[in-house]
Chain A
Amino acid sequence: MARPPRVRRSRGRDPLGLRRALSDRLLPALVAAMALLAALALAGAQGAAELTARWEAGAAAAVTVQLPPAAASGGRLERALAALEALPEVAEARVMSEAQMQALLRPWLGEAPAVALPLVIELRLAELPASPDELAGRIAAAVPGGVVESHGVWVARLVALARSLQTVALAALVLVAGIAAAVVAVAVRAGIAARRAAIALLHDMGATDTDIAGRFAGRAGLLVGTGALLGTLLAAPVLAGFADLAAPLLGQVPAGSVAGLPWGSVPWAALALLPLLGAALGWLTAQVTVRRWLRRLP
């Protein structure tokens, strides 16, 4: 029996010629740019979330009530503590110890202050109030003669700002994903237009919608995943640089050099997901686009 011929079949598994119809340059380059934006948005959302948590924790212990030294006698301090703990917004009311007070005031008053120190009650709030001014008023009403210091007002505003930034960053992420899907859909439609005759031929030969859509989806998934990987790799040093610039906000010292960049601050786990999510987005968009087009065939 004669041996079957040995022939070049390098493109036999790409009958639609998608390696040319879906270019391996333009689409990955566009997706890489969008992945870079997505990575920035993702890191921005994560950074804003961290700032929110940090500021919220700071604000939770940031309300104090001062009472005159005489309040230590006559049960006034105990009544004040009971009144404060009865407020629903207050998780814990605690009198600051004399040792803590002296430690705090030592830079100004020295080791043995000659003046009588006020009593200070620290309040840990269950959650940040919607209206810090209103809460301050209610605390003052609960403890007559007390002086309420509530710098949680501006902290709450910062937290609201950070939350807004987080929301905007997540919205930007969704927007980038939507644009990426639109770009993939346009590229796939151009590929369909370029390979219309070949698709019709395969369809006439008995190719299923799953087969044809799967060929486009596999190619689109590969290109988008590759582009997203490139964009993510570009984003990593940019994010490390931003983290270094933001170091003072977190009470850290900026490195100022490439070698000292805070690589540990880069959200590696989230970044690692980007190429996978990008590939999945490309695959799914191509599937939907091709299957919708194929429905017009008998």
Chain B
Amino acid sequence: MVRFDDVGLRYGSGPAPEVLRDVSFVLPQGSFHWLLGPSGAGKSSLLGLMHLALRPSRGEVEVLGQPLSRLRRGALPGLRRRIGVVYQDFRLLPHLTVFDNVALPMRIAGRAEAQLRADVGEMLRWTGLDAKAGALPATLSGGEQQRVALARAVVMRPALLVADEPTGNLDGVQARRVLALLREMHRLGTTVVVATHAEGLVAEHPAPALRMEEGRLVAHG
């Protein structure tokens, strides 16, 4: 479950205006939500709060049952390992192979190499990338890179998966393929939130939506 209660977010410590204002909503465990809104509406900031890359300036954020205001900094890494993130720009590490990029969250979590090989192999097959395991990201197409990023995000079987414009840099075919994988994660019980501009994709896959405008949540449902 994800719960925002009267959340405000301001970057920096000065008198800068809030980029998020009075945001309140609840996402039940296992739900799928679109996050919609124009550029600059605050979608990425909202997702940043969800995957603990940011902390709210005010209000309460609760992620996977953990209220952030009561969590020590040292407890955050454990919670982050239960959250998968897919970025528009993929953020693959260029010096690592596809296999090692996907294996990264497991190595961070200290998983044994034997278990890691089996799980990463399964993820690569799931995303149709098993033949590319030894390739470096620079040799892959945009769609392939985004599937690697998706495999990396879900290899730890996260309870919450957030995707920030995951299809923004992809053509229609690749975008549908990535979206199908996200929907499959939802079917497996993961809470999924996908920020997008692609109204066409949203129309093809109807689901509840959060709609942001100028830092405020203007519609939920």
Contacts and interface: CB of A to CB of B under 8 A. Distances in A.
Given A12-B96, A12-B103, A7 B77 contact: no
A203 B76 CA distance: 10
Interface in A269-298: 298
B91 interface: yes
A5 interface: yes
B35 interface: no
B108 A205 contact: yes
A194 to B, nearest CB: 12
Interface residues of B, number: 37
Contacts, number: 81
B176 interface: no
Contacts of B104: 15, 202, 205
Given A197-B91, A204-B85, A5 B99 contact: yes
B120 A298 contact: no
Interface stretch (A57-65, A206-214, A241-249): A206-214
A11 B85 contact: no
A206 B80 contact: yes
Given A8-B134, A12-B100, A206 B78 contact: yes
B83 to A, nearest CB: 8
Contact of A7 (B54, B78, B97, B107): B97
B118 interface: yes
A113 B73 CA distance: 92
B124 interface: yes
Interface of A: 2, 4-5, 7-9, 11-15, 17, 20, 197-198, 201-208, 211, 298
29 contacts: A2-B125, A4-B120, A4-B121, A5-B99, A7-B134, A8-B99, A9-B97, A9-B103, A12-B96, A12-B99, A12-B100, A12-B103, A12-B107, A15-B93, A15-B96, A15-B100, A15-B107, A17-B95, A20-B95, A204-B80, A205-B80, A205-B81, A205-B105, A206-B79, A206-B80, A206-B109, A207-B77, A211-B108, A298-B53
